[in-house]
Structure 1
Amino acid sequence: MPPRREVRVIDYSHALTVPTTDSDFDTPKADLLWFHFAPAVAACGRIRVSKNYRDYRRAFERNLDPRQRPTEPAAVRTYDATGETRCVAFDLDCKKGASRGAVLRDCERLTNWLIEAGCSYLIDESPSGGRHVYVFLEQPRSFADVAPMAKSLKSSSQLPTFDIGPLVNMSEGCIRPPGAAHRTGGHQRLVTPLPAALSAVTRRTSPASWSAFLALIPQPAPSPQVTDLYLPAREAAGAGQRLPLTPDYAGIAVTGHYDTRRYETPSQARGAVVMHALCRGWDADSITEQVFTGRWGGLAALYEAKYGKYTPKALLGDIQRCLAKLDESPAHRIHTSATRPRRGEGSGSRLHLRRWTAALQLALTGDRWNSARSYGVEMVLLALGDAARRTQTIYPAFGVRHLSMGAGTVLDHSTVAKTLKLLASEDDPFILLVESDRGVDPDIYELRIPDRYLNDIPEEAGLPPAPYGIHPAFSALCKPAYRLYTALSRAAGSSTAADLARAAHMPIRTVHATLYELHQAKLVRCRDGRWLLGRRTLARFAHLNKIGTRLHDLVLRWRREREMLRIAHGLPERRQPNRFTVAWPGVAPPAQAPSRPTREEEGRAIGGGRPNWLVPDELEAAAMETLRESLGAVLITEETA
């Protein structure tokens, strides 16, 4: 009987000079690897097969069979349906200019952190030279924990070949396990010795070891803007106290010279000095006095070089923007032991909410989301904006049922929860998950303006108002009805279907189908091929469809579910009144409600004024129009008879 060959760990120094296909280490057969490790890596027992040897699409997803290894390239899901995983897979790619040596160096750096923390892991390698490092956990970790870790590790630039895609995509994240076929031929080969790999699967990483690993990985260096905002606040001035500028900022203020490696433009340098001065207790009058009396001559020179005689106005504008920034980003005043952010009340939060709403409109017009998905996303974000407006904070803490009510109950609370998870996991997102897993208390989100829209947001005079939620009447209509009805109500007079499609950024076929449904509900009407609001109001439509009764029953059910959750957490049951009223969202105060056009204005918009009842022809035309709209009457002439 020939002696059994043991699997050898790869020699990193030697591997840098050896091609991938001659790596000089052995591995079990692909079927055996798939049988042992594919179920351990998969989060939900599902795999996706690549039919075109490039993409792993949801259409080709099926159940995982450990005894049947797919012949095509196959990848397993990294998160289950609830967004949790018990295997954190680090993907080190040998592509986009990265050499195999860079992959090996990143792999060694990553495994050193894992070894020092006492984590259980295994390594496999693809025929192209990339590597996967799998860390198996005793307790599952949620997407909200793993994704920020992956983004932070990538931002630190310590692992240049690290591909965060499998860890930051909750529904689409996939990775090829050991034994899976590769698109170039061959399969994922095991690097870790087989006994050690099997031990890593059975003796998993404890929560203490995982926490130790998180403490070892490097954190990304803060950007100059973040440093200018938060670093001076470590020595923030007290009430009524004004501290001198630190040497770095004082040098810019006096001489006007700044480090171009830190600040790319003079605008950034000017804003840094103003922000720092405000954090140190200087007010607008004292900053202006220092600039124009010559004490801060360097800062004055930077402003004069850009604005000339408009320097006072520009300086005042920068001070106001910095004050708003400090008000809407109050984290610099929070102690490290604080359990939740400060409320952030004031004009800064209101201005931030309006700018955030403008960014949402830019995203919808720029097709950030596909048409079918954008309707639900818009409703959830508008519900969050309504919650922020009501609590006057950029950190709304509302449960998914409250947000469902703010969205007019067009979406149920489970759909709202799924949409929030997807929005928080986007790159450059609109919302950030600040705090989760708070027992009976809801998650806290921060309303964030994505970087890609910052430069396109209009000035304060051109900003839209804060959201007021969505009227529950739309829960009896299709999802696109809200956007189309809103676009029609904002239009001056009547509009054609093509005009509405451009204004609402909707496909023309969806516009026609939605207009038909709104017309059946008598919320819109058509005159000579042009559409305008109908005479039936949303309140009347809701009353006819008994939406108030449905909302009342829905709130009763939600309250019962809420009390069951409190009992499950060991909290006392609260008594609820037998009679109550439901506050409907989407109803703006009378001062901000859009005024409806008069009949004369509607007539002028479609090419004619109010009919003169003393003229027989106009009286007959108006009567026929009324019969046509109300009863569907058709004029029978001699020719048609």
Structure 2
Amino acid sequence: MVPEPVSASTHALMGVAPYVKPEEAWSLAPMIAGAPSYRLGRWIGSRFQYPRPRATPKITRSLPERPAAVMVHGPDGCVATLCLDFDTSKALKGVVDADATRVGRLLSACGVLFVEDFSPSGGRHVYIPLRDRMDAAEARELVEALALTATSLDPSPHQNITDGCIRVPGSVHKAGGHQTLVTPLSQAYDILRRRNPASALVELRAALAPELTRKRALKARAARSVASQRNGFLPQLSLTMASESPLRRVARTGLYDTARYKSPSEARMAVLNHFSACGWSLQHVENELTGQFPGLAALYGTPQRQARLLPYEWAKAQSFTSTQVLQKRDPHKQRKKTAPINNTSPTLTTGGAGKLSSAGVHQLVNDLENILYAVVDHRLRARGRQGLSLRLLIRGLLGYMRAKETDVLNVGCRTLAAAMGKHHVTIARLLPVLVAASDGILTKVADARHKTADVYLIQLPEQYQQLARELSWRKGKIHAIRPVFRALGDATALVYEAIERGRDAPTTADLVRATGVSRNACSAALAEMEALGMIQRQGHTWKTTTVNLRMLAARLGVMDDYLEQISRNRHERAAWHAYLDRFFTTQVQKADLFDPERDEYWLPPDDAAIWYAA
């Protein structure tokens, strides 16, 4: 069941059943616990903990006088109930309430029954009773996947198989008061007695397929990093939430540094200034208040206050960021003049007939797409795994060509690497190979110099012009690596493209022939995309669904990888520019040209001195 929405106070929940005495609520403890025992809590230093006692007390009908938490795992290492702890130490109470409501809706949509309570501190607990006991590792994976959908969800009770515990309804709270039952007592008894069958958990796992895929990828990455350290190699770069900017963390959790921001108003303005500087609009901000940044909404307190203050504060943020941009501009920098100021000034060209128009560039890209699908893709298939990367790289270059509306590109390797989800060294290694394999489509016309990248010309060779005119253009947009395929891989990207841009709904055999991907890799890609809801089977053919690929990419954790790569590129680029600035002087002094007290000749060194020095 889904509990009714809650009010701002934890002691005034709307739609909650009549007050249940703590002693009566405590009677649910044996049906929640993984083992028939509990632990008493006490302060140890500055933390309130539940230490392991010498003699573990058994759960009885009498309510313990001190804060008590039941064990989540049993002696066999299995759990009887999934315990979800929404903690106010991880996010503001508004975020906690929103997370609990959203997770409750997800559970109800999957047919999962649960019991809910709340604590005097504002935290929320959700208990999912299981008809069949679940292995600890499987339960941990499922709870951690749910934690990826809710900022305030603390998975730690399921991460410690020996000491994981949780306070249950009726238990005394460390700050005073008791855990208050939200679900009516009779209904809670019925749910805990009937419990959830395995079929409901299958639906829940299907709904959490992106998060489960993300957790497995992170676990595999961590294992590879540990193996690299053991073998003496450098560890792989960690692409985790550490790459998240502090202001986005404030927008996500609502928690801010009180030493830096004196009030929620200052924290809100800092976040809004950040979003304004990133080019967001008010509509984008309003959409994310109920999406990935509920902490910003919690900083307003109430929806009425948010509706009244958000437009006003957003206008202030836009005014502030526009002023900052104007102040950063060089006041001494003059606009370029197109007219000569005297007879010795060089004449500036205007492009003339040699420069393609916007429509001409788009027509050229359409023709190049035809040649790409008809000729280039087939040639690159023979290169194996490298061929997959080359095929996506040329798609990325055509995408930049269409976006910039020019056939001359000077896009750096790091920019291409961030767009494709690869390392910049890989892009630097692939570009010369692509130039040689493109048969004149891609040509390098200038080497990188100082802060500018290599310059490439993209053109339609003469031998392909007749073929391009005979082939009809395909509908849709060409993509390199869309964000979601940074997590799913190159082969999956090509298979999805074949389904999306195919003239007819293709079968699996058609996809193998069209993409050049092996049968096993194609079947694995189809199964993974079907599990994520990206495609669906209709008879023997495949079709794309209406799933939002950007939202799916966010659920797979792609944005964390992207932000980490952007941050790393920014630091490396700044270090390179600082190195170049060492050799750049803006003004030459007269003493630098000639110093009368300095010898302007050079004496050759003594050969014997060199021999002895060696």
TM-score bin (small chain)? 0.3 to 0.5
TM-score by length of 1: 0.38
TM-score by length of 2: 0.40
Higher relative contact order (CA 8 A, sep 6+): 2
